[in-house]
């Protein structure tokens, strides 16, 4: 088995080690909110006789136990602070829950009200971290099931996955903002087990030269990284075919031995006309790889079949891809996946179907090669600064410049150092955004250089664009100003502490628009800079000279 340079671990040491983790399992544990998720919501309940499990709860939990997953409860119980029930009554209610639903491996209860400013009250991530420690795992290997935004906010801020199970009191805006939604608790369990099964696949097999394909932007290549590592773990040689926009990201991926750069006119957003001579040259180049097989990774809206045809013409004997369209004889492995999977899991599921699952000791997070990440440039003043990346190759996903400039002023006024990054064609933008208080790094950060800047950052503030996935690969928390033109559940930062901001129910939702179809970019422009500061605090990033700042409030869910 070939070994690359070690995957990147943050210089600050905040990324948990991956040794001993089984990459073929998505999760070690399932955490559950209590009231409204496991049992009917009786406000401030201190009476065990009022405990009523939600329909199908016991059978659903037993499915998780049978699958070897550990279970924990994370619940806000401000009734203690309000004096509405005693600690003994709380223990009695929890005991009744276990009597009806079976044992849980850990209970985490926040006894504070919203005025306490504690680190445990959801949406703060403290209870998720505590539960993960109690269960001997990390938040990234946990999934939290809850019924309101505070539950999913706590999961995201810790780096855990989240599944929303709405109740009649769950607000529509909370449903819109959730990455994964299930109709009820049994459906949430089915979703968790299905996602785990998809990435596990069959026992892996050895292979010779494997051509892997991800022809799109840098972010697309980065989210395919776990699947590429799965192939590389069992292949003698891995050749990655990518487009020009993904070339820099491909150079950062562990597991890649050779890169073939070629624009594909059926993939690129602004392609040149199809040139038969160019297609002939591409076919010859593919033939020269002498691949024993190919795994064609695509996004959910792309087709692998044009390239599959060229691979057949190039003599590749085995081709695997996800395809809803009938492939005829173009594919040997035609994989199908449910809609809405996170893109890294979608790619991992194809790798598993092709016979390549992540080995023990790897974990399905994004990663980059340590030897390809340079040190940060001078002038940043040591680790812990914030990075704001306002631009995007897709205009609809960029942070509006006026908002970005206000965010910089707000963050620096609160004592944070802020670096503003952008490409060579964004120097005017970064200068405007950095203003007199931020550090303008515009034009000085190619993708590898940006990785060097991000590696020592406390957090990244960014839209839905490639640097968000680069931050995830480095273990850097993300404040995601996410325009909902594409689904957040598929394209949000993966397995890294995150706070999502922006109007998830905006008219541009799911349009895949590249230019904002609504004047003024309201899904993001309405975000108040103070909410970004709150998000940074929620993620636990301290300021260099923290002024007397109010505590982060828990938002909705204050009665639990």
- The residues annotated with a catalytic role in the active site are 33, 35
DSSP string computed for 513-547: -SS-SSTT-HHHHT--HHHHHHHHHHTT---TT--
Q: How far is CA 484 from the centre of its chain?
A: 15
In the three-class reduction of DSSP (H, G, I as helix; E, B as strand; rest coil), residue 419 is classed as strand
Cβ-contact 188, 71 below 8 angstroms: no
CA distances from 107 to 94, 330, 356 (A): 9, 52, 37
Q: Would you give the DSSP letter of residue 396? A: G
Q: Would you give the DSSP letter of residue 16? A: P
Nearest to 138 by CA among 18, 227, 230, 24: 18
First to last CA, the chain: 51
Cβ-contact 123, 554 below 8 angstroms: yes
Q: Which two tokens stand for residue 257?
A: 């031995």
**CA quadruple 416, 422, 427, 430: dihedral, nearest 10:** -30
| Angle (nearest 5°) at CA 68 between 63 and 74 | 80
- In sequence order, the β-bridge partners of residue 459 are 386
Nearest to 494 by CA among 369, 365, 331, 388: 365
**CA–CA separation, 469 vs 458, rounded Å?**
15
Q: Give the other-Cβ count within 10 Å of 389's Cβ.
A: 31
Long-range pairs for 60-68: beta carbons < 8 A, 24 or more residues apart: 60/185, 60/186, 60/188, 60/189, 61/101, 61/102, 61/189, 62/102, 63/189, 63/193, 64/30, 64/189, 64/192, 64/193, 65/102, 67/193, 67/196
**CA–CA separation, 439 vs 459, rounded Å?**
15
Cβ-contact 257, 175 below 8 angstroms: no
- Which residues neighbour 95 within 8 Å (Cβ) at sequence distance 6 or greater? 48
CA distances from 31 to 46, 116, 137 (A): 22, 24, 12
CA distances from 333 to 144, 240, 387 (A): 33, 19, 42
């Amino acid at each position: 088995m070939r070994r690359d340079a070690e995957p990147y671990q943050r210089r600050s040491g905040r990324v948990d080690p991956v040794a001993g983790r089984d990459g073929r399992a998505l999760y070690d544990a399932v955490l559950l909110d209590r009231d409204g998720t496991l049992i009917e919501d009786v406000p401030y309940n201190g009476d065990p006789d009022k405990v009523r499990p939600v329909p199908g709860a016991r059978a659903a939990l037993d499915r998780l136990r049978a699958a070897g997953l550990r279970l924990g409860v994370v619940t806000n119980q401000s009734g203690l602070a309000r004096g509405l029930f005693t600690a003994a009554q709380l223990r009695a209610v929890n005991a009744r829950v276990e009597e009806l639903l079976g044992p849980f491996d850990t209970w985490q209860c926040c006894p504070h009200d919203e005025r306490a400013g504690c680190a445990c009250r959801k949406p703060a991530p403290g209870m998720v971290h505590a539960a993960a420690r109690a269960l001997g795992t990390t938040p990234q290997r946990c999934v939290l099931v809850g019924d309101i935004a505070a539950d999913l906010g706590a999961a995201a801020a810790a780096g855990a996955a989240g599944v929303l199970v709405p109740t009649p009191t769950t607000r529509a805006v909370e449903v819109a903002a959730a990455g994964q939604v299930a109709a009820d608790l049994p459906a949430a369990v089915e979703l968790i087990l299905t996602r785990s099964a998809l990435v596990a696949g069959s026992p892996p097999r050895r292979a010779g030269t494997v051509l892997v394909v991800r022809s799109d932007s840098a972010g697309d290549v980065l989210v395919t990284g776990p699947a590429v590592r799965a192939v590389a773990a069992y292949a003698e040689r891995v050749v990655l075919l990518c487009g020009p926009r993904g070339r820099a990201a491909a150079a950062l991926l562990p597991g890649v031995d050779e890169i073939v750069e070629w624009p594909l006119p059926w993939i690129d957003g602004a392609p040149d006309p199809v040139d038969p001579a160019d297609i002939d040259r591409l076919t010859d180049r593919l033939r020269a790889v002498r691949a024993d097989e190919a795994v064609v990774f695509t996004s959910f809206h792309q087709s692998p079949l044009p390239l599959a045809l060229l691979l057949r013409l190039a003599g590749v004997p085995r081709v695997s891809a996800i395809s809803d369209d009938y492939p005829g004889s173009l594919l040997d492995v035609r994989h199908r996946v449910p809609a809405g999977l996170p893109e890294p899991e979608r790619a991992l599921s194809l790798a598993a179907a092709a016979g390549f699952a992540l080995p023990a000791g790897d974990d399905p997070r994004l990663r980059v090669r340590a030897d390809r990440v340079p040190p940060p440039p001078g002038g940043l003043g040591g680790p812990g600064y914030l990075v704001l990346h306002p631009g995007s190759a897709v205009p609809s996903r960029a942070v509006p410049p006026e908002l970005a400039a206000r965010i910089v002023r707000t963050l620096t006024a609160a004592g944070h150092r802020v670096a503003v990054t952008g490409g060579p064609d964004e120097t005017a933008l970064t200068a405007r955004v950095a203003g007199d208080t931020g550090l303008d790094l515009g034009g000085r950060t190619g993708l590898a250089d940006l990785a060097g800047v991000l590696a020592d950052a406390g957090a990244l503030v960014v839209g839905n664009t490639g640097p968000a996935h680069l931050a995830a690969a480095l273990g850097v928390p993300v404040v995601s100003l996410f325009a909902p033109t594409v689904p957040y559940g598929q394209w949000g930062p993966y397995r890294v502490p995150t706070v999502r901001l922006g109007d998830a129910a905006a008219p541009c939702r799911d349009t895949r628009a590249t230019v904002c179809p609504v004047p003024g970019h309201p899904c993001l422009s309405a975000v108040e800079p103070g909410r970004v500061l709150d998000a940074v605090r929620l993620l636990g990033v301290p300021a260099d000279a923290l002024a007397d700042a109010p505590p982060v409030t828990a938002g909705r869910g204050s009665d639990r």
